[in-house]
Amino acid sequence: MSTGLFGTDGVRGAWGEKLTVELALAIGDAAVTITEKDRPRAVILRDTRESGPVLEAGLAAGIAAAGGDALIAGVLPTPAAPLLLAKHGLDLAFVVSASHNPFGDNGIKIFGADGDKIADEHEAEIERLVALGHPVNSTHPGHIEPLRGAFEDYLRALHERYSSLDLSGTRILLDCANGATSSAAPEIFRRLGAQVEVLADEPNGQNINEGCGSTHVETLAQRAAEGDWDAAFAFDGDGDRVMAVDSDGNVVDGDDMLLLLAGHMTTQGSLRGGVALTVMANYGLHAAFERAGIEVTTTPVGDRNVLAALRDLDWRLGGEQSGHIIDLDTGPCGDGIGTALLALEALGGLPLVERPGFDRLPQELINVKVASQGGFEGNEVLSELIKAESALLSGRGRVLVRASGTEPLIRVMVEAPTADETHSVCSKIADAVANELGKV
């Protein structure tokens, strides 16, 4: 993968610094140029950040300047991108979002005509053209126009997929993170008959992910424990992830979801192969799948790695502990709303608290914000410490330390037999990372 403009999930950074309208224009221009089509058609959708409309306008201008047609879909969850590509026979989709990041960040994800995020080599070519300052001003500029009915297209697809799911009498609590699911999620649950209460569904451009959503699921957990809910779900800013909470206030993460979904699909005979997990999946989940006779493959962190494994193995289901779940039978992208509905389908009318469980090894994750990730690889002090702590936990737990692909963070994750040992080892390594790389 290229190492400058694009990270593990498109282009991402602070608005006004890395992410500017000029950059958006250049990316739109370059992406259209490499399609090598006379008049490619591209859809743009976004989340609710205040910088979204400006970046949307920049992308649209770049697309049209290069001779393409830009279709503006407005605020929609990221998983609507592959759906709109297929439905309207489009060539590109751009999603303006920084997912779970704070509102001051933004990003641009690009999907190809096949519904997948564009390949590494295409990212590299866009990056090369942007760096060269390669604007294409076509003698016949394209059009910029709204894509009418895009919101309903997404809802209709969900409704058709889950038309047999009757949620009448089911009490659902939703946390929409003041993001892209704020309108869509409550609407589809109500259409399916659920009684819905909604939190964090009043975006103002600056409150996306602020103390809410899947990265602050404690807010939902507190509220869920106060009421009699069959299930509660928290989405992230762009709607491709979901975390859940049961009626006892227990958090149900992506690992729990995968166990529930895989068991349901196995019973139906529809699993197709095994389950793709990332290295962040809890060891206890591996043991649970082994007992159930369900095969597992492990990938690096990132939904594109999960998707690649599913495609290579011709499997159906995979995902991340963060709640990014891919069901290839419904699409190549995580869909938080779709995953929540699939979980309810798997429960068969039971409340979420009745889900199957597994013996989870205590796990702690510390995100260390550093001045620079550049010194992480090859740092002898950190390498020796990680090696030593891993050896001490061999056969009992594990250590995983990695640089984030979307933020200036080093992520330190430790699993050990007890919570005290887990915290001790994780804190020790996190402190060393901060000392070596300069904590911000």
The catalytic residues are 99
For residue 233, the SS3 value is strand
Residue ranges with strand state E in 164-209: 171-175, 195-199
Contact 132, 142 (CB under 8 A): no
Whole-angstrom Cα distance, residue 201 to residue 339?
Answer: 19
Q: List Cβ neighbours of 303 (8 Å cut-off, separation of 6 or more).
A: 9, 240, 320, 324, 326, 333, 334
* φ/ψ of residue 39, rounded to 5: -145, 75
Taking the CB of residue 72, how many other CB atoms lie within 10 A of it? 19
Contact 73, 101 (CB under 8 A): no
Bridge partners (DSSP) listed for residue 409 = 369
Whole-angstrom Cα distance, residue 337 to residue 389?
Answer: 39
C-alpha neighbours within 13 Å on the C-beta side of residue 10: 24
> Quick one: tokens of 236?
């992230």
Whole-angstrom Cα distance, residue 160 to residue 149?
Answer: 16
> Quick one: tokens of 424?
């001790």
Do the bridges between strand 275-278 and strand 296-299 make them parallel or antiparallel, or are there none, so unpaired?
parallel
| Helix spans in 133-250 (H) | 150-161, 184-191, 217-225
Whole-angstrom Cα distance, residue 438 to residue 374?
Answer: 11
Whole-angstrom Cα distance, residue 200 to residue 404?
Answer: 27
Task: Give which of 30, 23, 91, 13 is closest to 54, Cα–Cα.
Answer: 23
The residue assigned the tokens 């126009």 is 145
Whole-angstrom Cα distance, residue 178 to residue 80?
Answer: 18
Residue ranges with strand state E in 300-351: 317-319, 325-327
Q: List Cβ neighbours of 227 (8 Å cut-off, separation of 6 or more).
A: 171, 173, 197
> Quick one: tokens of 399?
């250590």
Between 21-35 and 52-65, two packed helices, what is the crossing angle to 10 degrees? 40
